[in-house]
Amino acid sequence: MDKIAFTYDDVRVTPDRQIGLYSNPQWELSHVNKYKCSPKTVRMNTIDTKLRTYVEQHIIPRYALFDKAHRAEHVNMVIEQSMKLASSMPGINKDMVYVTAAFHDLGLVNGRENHHIDSRKILEADEFIKAHFTQEQIRLMGEAVEDHRASKSGKPRNDYGLIVAEADRFIDGETIIRRTIQYGLKNYPDLDREGHYHRTLEHLEKKYGRNGYLKIWLPWSDNAKRLESLRQMIDNPKVIYKWFDRIFLEETRN
* 198-213 pLDDT tens trace: 999 999 999 999 999 9
Is pLDDT at 87 greater than 80 in this prediction?
yes
Query: pTM score, two decimals?
Result: 0.72
So what's the pLDDT on residue 170?
A: 81
Contacts of 241 (CB under 8 A, 6+ apart): 197
User: Amino acid identity of 246?
Assistant: R
pLDDT average, residue stretch 105-119: 93
Residue 84 has pLDDT above 60, yes or no: yes
Whole-angstrom Cα distance, residue 196 to residue 63?
24
Range from 91-95, 148-152, 216-220, 233-237 carrying the lowest mean pLDDT: 148-152
Q: What is the pLDDT of residues 125-144, one digit of tens each?
A: 999 999 999 999 999 999 99
CA distances from 60 to 179, 189, 212, 254 (A): 18, 27, 31, 24
Q: Give me the numbers of helices (H) and strands (E) for the chain, helices first please.
A: 13, 0
The pLDDT mean for the chain works out to: 83
Query: Residue ranges per domain, the chain?
Result: 46-170, 171-254
The CA distance from 201 to 161, in Å, is 28
Checking if the pLDDT of 150 tops 90, the result is no
Pick the CATH number of 46-170 from 3.40.190.10, 1.10.3210.10, 3.30.420.480, 3.30.1450.10: 1.10.3210.10
pLDDT value of residue 206: 94
Residue of 69, 71, 70, 96 lying closest to 83 (CA atoms): 96
Phi-psi region of 36 (alpha: psi -120 to 50; beta: other; left: phi over 0): left
Burial 88-119 (b: 16+ CB within 10 A, else e): eeeebbbbbbbbbbbbbbbbbeeeeeebbebb
Distance CA 61, CA 166 (A): 23
What single DSSP character describes residue 47? S
Rounded percentage of the chain residues whose pLDDT exceeds 90:
65
Q: What is the pLDDT of residues 18-27, one digit of tens each?
A: 333 233 333 2
Quick one: what percent of the chain has pLDDT higher than 70? 81
Cα-based torsion angle of the residue sequence 48, 68, 16, 3 in order, rounded to the nearest 10 degrees:
-10
pLDDT tens per residue, range 12-63:
233 333 333 233 333 233 333 322 333 454 467 789 999 999 999 999 999 9
Is residue 10's pLDDT more than 50?
A: no
> pLDDT at position 234, please?
93
Band the pLDDT of 4: cuts 50, 70, 90: very low
* Structure confidence at residue 5 (pLDDT): 30
